[in-house]
Amino acid sequence: LKLIHLNNLVHRDLHLGNILQDDKNTYISDFGLCRPANEMNDQNIYGVLPYIAPEVLRRKPYTEKSDIYSLGIIINTLISGKKPFKDRLYDRFLMIEICRDGKRPEIRAEIPLILKDLIQKCWDEIPENRPTIEEIIDVLTSEELFYKLLNLRLDLAALPSSSSDTKRLLDVPDSSELEPMPTTQIATGTAIYSNIHIIAYCLFNLLKIYLNLYSYLYLDVVDS
């Protein structure tokens, strides 16, 4: 996404179904709606609800900040392990609540505050208040977040296995509730991937470590 924005492009269709991952790389796919940022003059709505930014739902032009909103929904979905608004129809009533009432998906209460703040900034109602992709990378690769996640792991490990709070905190999301990840061919010449250095700190590997935390501790509790 950083490379996309550095090239003055807007993806306009970021959602989990357009993110592919193998053992080494994470890819953004489906660039059919990708356009130069300075050519956003139509008022059509593209993308997948609820990843679409509220200003786009109001038929304002797509910008890099619209992609950032979508990324915020993706980050929260990876953490929760559940589709955003999974109990709702993706219809005009949900669109109205997103635009008029500022409705957003629920954020897990136990995640570090620095990560919660990042997610909330990504889907801020005012596009100008949303962070840039560089600022997001800075947070996700920061030592502060690393140690917050490490301390969370230690705190959860210290809870007694019989504790009801343990069961709540270590609730492993059902993988069947996640959106399917398509395995279709990535658009030729348009797949954006990270090199080995970035992969070590990239968004999805960091969040995958966070999600694996629950699985690891949950299995420890069950085995004990």
Q: Is 13 a catalytic residue?
A: yes
List 13, 30, 67, 124, catalytic entry: 13
DSSP secondary structure letters along the chain? -HHHHHTTEE----SGGGEEE-SS-EEE---TT-EEGGG-------S-TTSS-HHHHTTPPP-HHHHHHHHHHHHHHHHH-S-TTTTS--SHHHHHHHHHS-------TTS-HHHHHHHHHHT-SSGGGSPPHHHHHHHHT-HHHHHHHHHHHHHHHTS-TT-HHHHHHT-PPPGGGSPP---SPPPTTT-B---HHHHHH-HHHHHHHHHHHHHHHHHHHHH-
Residues assigned a catalytic role: 13
